[in-house]
Amino acid sequence: MTGYVRTALFLAALTALFLAIGFMLGGEGGMLIAFALALAMNLFAYWNSDKMVLSMYGAREVDHRSEPALFGIVEQLARRAALPMPRIYVVDSDQPNAFATGRDPEHAAVAATTGLLRSLSAEEIAGVMAHELAHVKNRDTLIMTITATIAGAIGMLANFAMLFGASRGDERGGSPLGMVGTILIMILAPIGAMLVQMAISRSREYDADRIGAAIAGKPLWLAAALEKLHYAAKRIDNPAAEANPTTAHLFIVNPLHAHAVDGLFSTHPSIENRMRRLRAMAGVAGPWG
């Protein structure tokens, strides 16, 4: 329950930041425009985000004939998790990774890369797919879509401030903050939105690890998979992810080579912390703690 409360607070903070920026740039009218913009963008993302992400990565849908092993694993895990059978996709990428998308469990999809299917054992694939089904069960795919949409809208407002706020000035109905305030919004607002977005993403990853391990029944399956994926992602490029870094939070491990700076600016918790928690669930000390 704590994870859900924390996520709700982060979402409230992100929304408040968005509305506050609208108010600072244009008063009550600006706040209303910001609210309408956020609502329209979220409605669009609600209905179309899964199609956009799957298309972005060239994902192809598979079934029990084309990928019998993967289909069988997901089918068994979905049954254990009391979830509807999701659509299953494969992404042609050498980097082993996976993600989930869809607005709710009835319209969910899970995707695995060809690199993941080649490099992991059946047990490790089950651990990864259980993690993705945990995201579906928690409705994290919708939460993160909304989060990314609001964060993107904040960036748009910052650009709006740059283009119009300072040039119009106080006397002409522009930003009541003046030049200095507008510049601060341009710089600080996107950074604040990014930090909140990443904090939400990290919180949801921990919960998906915990619930995914319970779905699979073997926390060490996921722990072993995370270790392999973490090191492989450092060595193997994912060009589609590098071209679309705003989708990095969807993956089970960070697909970007630019994640050398961990901590506040990472979309994922440290692999050491994730493995430590999973090993603790299994009652094993292990090399990570």
> ∠ CA(77), CA(80), CA(85), 5° rounding?
55
Between CA 10 and CA 227 the distance in angstroms is 29
Nearest to 267 by CA among 185, 151, 119, 154: 151
Between CA 193 and CA 215 the distance in angstroms is 32
| Residue 82 DSSP one-character state | T
Is 132 designated active site? yes
> ∠ CA(15), CA(18), CA(22), 5° rounding?
140
Distances (CA, A) of 32 to 19, 65, 150, 260: 8, 51, 15, 39
Alpha helix ranges (H) inside 236-284: 239-243, 271-282
Cβ burial, residue 12 (10 Å; 0-12/13-18/19+)? exposed
**Active-site option among 67, 124, 132, 227:** 132
Tokens encoding 239: 């060009």
Residues across the chain = 289
Tokens encoding 210: 């915990």
Q: State the amino acid at position 248 in one-letter form.
A: A
Q: Which residues are catalytic?
A: 132
